[in-house]
Amino acid sequence: LAKGDYDTALRYLEQSLAILQQIGDRKGESVTLNNLSSILYARGKVEEAMAYSFRDLQICQEIGDINGMATTMANIGAMLFEQESYEEAIPILMQAYAILEKIGSPNVKYPLQYLGEIIERIGKAKFEEIVSRME
């Protein structure tokens, strides 16, 4: 990947995903889905990347991987942020932040940074309005 050979990486990851699914390695499947999502997003294939991330999130929930779940939620929130889908990004970033804070993860800073950026872009009043609708 350092050389940007995304096509080869995607091919190997898709092969790996198929094998992991066959042998029932759910954690490996989760990691591979996350990697696929990252590459697809870097290539501008946002919808495909989001689909892989949501599959990853589902697996993390099924296997009880709390850290993986929160990290994937933060990744989804980041993609939504980059697409300027702030109203969709806020709740998922807030959930990711709450989970990461609860488990004491150093990654807690990432969703917090995106939430801060959103406040800067849409204003505190609009942010608070969106949050109040969540409750």
Rg of the chain on CA atoms, in Å: 16
Does the structure show a pLDDT above 80 at 28? yes
The enclosing domain of 56 has a CATH number of 1.25.40
Q: Examine the domain organization and report whether 95 and 131 are in the same domain.
A: yes
Model pTM? 0.90
pLDDT of residue 6: 87
Q: Examine the domain organization and report whether 23 and 39 are in the same domain.
A: yes
Question: Looking at residues 90-104, what average pLDDT do you find?
Answer: 97
What residues make up the domain containing 111? 66-135
Return the higher-pLDDT residue of 77 and 6: 77
Q: Examine the domain organization and report whether 2 and 51 are in the same domain.
A: yes
Number of domains in the chain: 2
Question: Looking at residues 110-121, what average pLDDT do you find?
Answer: 97
Q: Examine the domain organization and report whether 57 and 89 are in the same domain.
A: no
Measuring CA to CA, how many Å separate 27 from each of 14, 21, 32, 51, 89? 15, 10, 9, 17, 25
User: Which of 43, 104, 49 has its CA nearest to residue 78?
Assistant: 49
CA–CA dist 42, 64 (Å, integer)? 28
pLDDT digits (tens, 9 = 90+) for 36-92: 999 999 999 999 999 999 999 999 999 999 999 999 999 999 999 999 999 999 999
